[in-house]
Amino acid sequence: MNSAELNSLLLKRFPVLKDAFEEETSWQEGIDTGAIVVFEDIFMPYIIYCVENNLKEQITKCFDFIEECVRAKDSFQKTVIEVSIIENIHSYDIANKLASFLREESLKSYNNNHQ
């Protein structure tokens, strides 16, 4: 998987991010914009918004997607999620709340990065 494929997967799973994606990447490389940048600058703020507003269905969808990516056999997909999402959780005021939604493998990754 490459950035374009992972960005496309994100947009397929979260069509609500399409406008933010187009705005953020229009001056960059569009769909080929680095996935780490896209996930940090677009997906992470969406996750924060969902958690802060207690949007349970969307929170579940976000963290299921994170877990799916961490469990993926594709190392690029896993690395993007670990670097752009999991490793950055601690930098938010609601870090503990965010971490509480992580599933088995993503929680292991989080704990490995924060020991």
State the DSSP string of 23-84: HHHTTTTGGGS-HHHHIIIIIHHHHHHHHHTT-HHHHHHHHHHHHHHHH-S-HHHHHHHHHH
pTM flag (> 0.85)? yes
DSSP secondary structure code for residue 19 in this structure: H
Whole-angstrom distance, CA of residue 33 vs CA of residue 25: 6
Q: Is the pLDDT reported for residue 67 higher than 90?
A: yes
| Residue 115: predicted pLDDT | 61
pLDDT tens string 75-115: 999 999 999 999 999 888 988 999 999 999 999 989 887 66
pLDDT (mean) for 42-64: 97
| Residue 30: predicted pLDDT | 83
Judge whether 58 and 49 are in contact, CB under 8 Å: no
What letter represents residue 58's amino acid?
Q
